[in-house]
Structure 1
Amino acid sequence: MHHRLDPLTLAAIGLAVVSVSSSAPLIAYAAAPALAIAFWRNFLAVGVLGPAALVRRRAELRDMVTGGRRREARYSVLAGLALAVHFATWMPSAQLTSVATATALVATQPVWQGLLALARGRRLRPVMWVGIGIAVAGAAIATGADLGTSGRAIAGDLLALAGAVAVAVYTDLGERARAALSTTAYTLVCYSVCAAALLVACLVGGARLGGYGHTTWLAILGLVAGAQLLGHSMFNYALHKVSATTISMLILLEVPGSVLIAWLWLGQVPRAAAYPGLALLVVGVAVVVAGGARTLRQPPEPAA
């Protein structure tokens, strides 16, 4: 694309980056179980999107149940389950390890997306393998920096990586579902399934769903309005002037953005030993995204 970026598009991109960057710090700040935060985040998003979707996409939603879009409906349900796994792993990671490490590790989604494409028979360009190698080395260094701290931090690192794999599966399934579905219909089904799965996980795991202080509820509302709704919306708006590959690159700004917010707001300063690994990880993912521009079709899906 060679469109000249207007001030409105630039403002939308900036707002989207800030919105998704606030996700991990808000999760770390909220005094509530991570599973419960994940449930409320999706449940409240469905409450916002649901009425409009039921009015505008009623025929399409009915066709997903009784008509010719049942195959896409199955993909949407599976995508919702994968998204639930993503939230159930990544959101606890932001409370167990540092915001910087959790955000950087979950940003490895494009690496796993490339490996999923390989499993589906697509050939990866050599530059993508270079990027995967750099990202893996960076993740190993960043995680290794936690070895001398606590088992809690290591568990958080592993959960963040699991969250990255899950969101790659979610994006892959969503790509198949979106082949014949509108964004509105797909999002409603996906978020609804995700919220239902997380509710079951909360009930089985005994996660407390209420009784929080007002600051925690404000943090949850901030997650819904920010990363869940505003971040996605502003990135999607910018797509009329900016390529999907560029958007994927811009999403990587979530890593330094989250680090800055966590430092200024929560007083979290990443361990010095983690900096080289985090830098290598972001560079590696950027190489994968750039190298995969002609290989993969990746809709911009902020992991946070």
Structure 2
Amino acid sequence: MKVLEKHPMIMIIIGVIGISVSAIFVKYSDAPSVVTAAYRILWTVGIMSPLVFGSREVRKEMKQTDKKTIVLCGVSGMFLAFHFVAWFESLNQTSVASSTAIVCTEVIWVALGFVLFLKGKMGRGAIFSIAITVLGSLLIAFSDYSAGGDNLYGDGLALAAAVFSAIYTLIGREVRKGMSTTSYTYFVYVFCALTLCVSAAAAGIPFTGYGVRSVLVGLLLAVFSTLLGHSIFSWCLKYLSPSFVSASKLCEPAVAALFAAFLFGEIPVLLQVIGGVITIGGVLLYSKVEKNQ
């Protein structure tokens, strides 16, 4: 562990790979998007439960959590569920490169939500960054529209997934002010799992019958994308600056696209690449603007 503390970049690389392979794993699932998402979160809850209930401090905090906070965690979990379903379905309709690039615009929607609903302020630099990001996303959409098929629909789902994730993040930003990360994420994951299971049942979608591979995909998503992905980035915040950690996440579209090109033969066209670079560039620029504010 001391080696990793001295060389946190090792963990950054593992984290980038962890979040990048999530799109690849989803492609291998034979289950509907809502079921794949449910498998992922149920595995995550199962892995976390012994750690959560094995800690006296966490149990005490969860027991003392007020009803308003629990309700907010519930709403946050619902939007996280919507995010997973929209994004997983997006990956079934469009390329990994387009979907991951558009989903990465979440930070832009968080900024807009912060201004509109939490009375935050936004300078010219932030507005310019958002404009660049929107331009990049439009280029991706135009490229996919020209390609025909359901690609444009997939882009729309990726955009919806980014917005849903932004709402989840904004709620978490407020709730986390008086709550530990462990308690918050556990509550959210439980409500997310319930939302996904109820949604599947309401839609008449069977929860089983998709083979062992789909269940295994859920486990791989839980381990690599959640625990070895997002959790590692949280750990890295102790040793690296938040701006660097956030910027490193923007490697996901490029790494995921490389995996998709090798495994599925998804070779992005030039306009798609340009749109992706501009989109990620806009997000990166916004991250720097936010740091300097």
For residues 44-90 of structure 1, the C-alpha deviation after alignment (integer angstroms, 9 at most, x for no partner) is: 101111222123111111111xxxx3332222111111111111211
Give aligned pairs, total: 287
> Matched residues in 2 for 1:280 and 1:42: separation?
32
1:61 equivalent to 2:62? Answer yes
Gaps of 5+ in 1: 296-304
1:72 corresponding residue in structure 2:
69
> Matched residues in 2 for 1:217 and 1:59: separation?
33
1:9 equivalent to 2:8? Answer yes
TM-score, normalisation: structure 1 = 0.90
4+ long deviations beyond 6 Å: none
- After superposition, residues 204-223 of structure 1 pair within 5 angstroms as 204-223=202-221
- The answer to whether the 8 Å contact 1:107/1:252 transfers is yes
> Matched residues in 2 for 1:208 and 1:150: separation?
31
Aligned to 2:147, the other structure's residue is in SS state: coil
2:87 corresponding residue in structure 1:
90
- After superposition, residues 20-35 of structure 1 pair within 5 angstroms as 20-35=19-34
1:156 corresponding residue in structure 2:
154
Deviation, structure 1 residue 168: 0.6
1:52 corresponding residue in structure 2:
51
Deviation, structure 1 residue 271: 2.7
Deviation, structure 1 residue 151: 4.5
Deviation, structure 1 residue 204: 1.9
- After superposition, residues 184-199 of structure 1 pair within 5 angstroms as 184-199=182-197
The CA RMSD over aligned residues, in Å, is 1.6
- The answer to whether the 8 Å contact 1:33/1:208 transfers is no
Identity of aligned residues (%): 30
Aligned to 1:140, the other structure's residue is in SS state: helix
- The answer to whether the 8 Å contact 1:29/1:266 transfers is no
- The answer to whether the 8 Å contact 1:124/1:292 transfers is no
Question: Which residue type is aligned with residue 39 of structure 1?
Answer: A
For residues 16-61 of structure 1, the C-alpha deviation after alignment (integer angstroms, 9 at most, x for no partner) is: 0000000111112222211110011011101111222123111111
Question: Which residue type is aligned with residue 17 of structure 1?
Answer: V
1:134 corresponding residue in structure 2:
132
> Matched residues in 1 for 2:79 and 2:214: separation?
26
Range that drifts further, 286-295 or 102-111: 286-295
> Matched residues in 2 for 1:150 and 1:198: separation?
31
> Matched residues in 2 for 1:269 and 1:29: separation?
18
1:245 corresponding residue in structure 2:
243
> Matched residues in 2 for 1:82 and 1:217: separation?
23
> Matched residues in 2 for 1:35 and 1:218: separation?
15
Q: Which has the higher helix share?
A: 2
- The answer to whether the 8 Å contact 2:43/2:218 transfers is no
Gaps of 5+ in 2: none
Deviation, structure 1 residue 294: 4.9
> Matched residues in 2 for 1:272 and 1:217: separation?
36
Aligned to 2:266, the other structure's residue is in SS state: coil
- The answer to whether the 8 Å contact 1:84/1:194 transfers is yes
> Matched residues in 2 for 1:158 and 1:197: separation?
22
Aligned to 2:254, the other structure's residue is in SS state: helix
Question: Which residue type is aligned with residue 243 of structure 1?
Answer: S
2:141 corresponding residue in structure 1:
143
Deviation, structure 1 residue 195: 0.6
For residues 142-177 of structure 1, the C-alpha deviation after alignment (integer angstroms, 9 at most, x for no partner) is: 011111233511111001000001101101101111
